[in-house]
């Protein structure tokens, strides 16, 4: 069981590393790579929530891959950076885009799974 979680975690972390290091541009103060990994992970988790309820799949894809792919700690680091620079509106804006966008992508992933299964 631990091997499954560790393997999935390594896969998710590797994918995150590749995306974040390749997509280094900022658009309106938002790091595109960071935003993309959070949206992809949320969509995958949304799909998983509808498609499979087995413990192994949930641990491997949900906990391990999606958990290490998405990066809440990096989002917090970005927010703290802007708060320290007294750019409060930017910090709130970044948080809002990530959270609402991740929510929408989760729902979109779930809806995609519904369509694919029917």
pLDDT digits (tens, 9 = 90+) for 27-86: 988 999 999 999 999 999 999 888 867 788 888 988 899 999 998 888 899 999 999 999
Burial class for 63, CB neighbours closer than 10 Å (0-12, 13-18, 19+): middle
Q: How many domains does the chain have?
A: 1
CB 36 within 8 A of CB 7: no
What is the pLDDT at residue 34? 93
Half-sphere exposure of 83 (CA within 13 A, CB side): 10
pLDDT of 108 over the 80 cut? yes
Domain coverage including residue 111: 2-117
């Amino acid at each position: 069981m631990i091997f499954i979680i560790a393997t999935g975690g390594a896969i998710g972390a590797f994918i995150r590393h590749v995306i974040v290091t390749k997509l280094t541009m900022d658009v309106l103060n938002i790091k595109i790579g960071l935003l993309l990994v959070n949206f992809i992970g949320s969509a995958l988790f949304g799909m998983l929530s509808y498609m499979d309820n087995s413990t192994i799949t949930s641990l491997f894809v949900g906990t391990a891959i999606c958990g290490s792919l998405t990066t809440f700690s990096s989002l917090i680091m970005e927010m703290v950076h802007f708060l320290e620079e007294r750019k409060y509106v930017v910090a709130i804006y970044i948080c809002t885009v990530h959270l609402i966008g991740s929510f929408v992508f989760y729902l979109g992933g779930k809806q995609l799974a519904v369509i694919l299964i029917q």
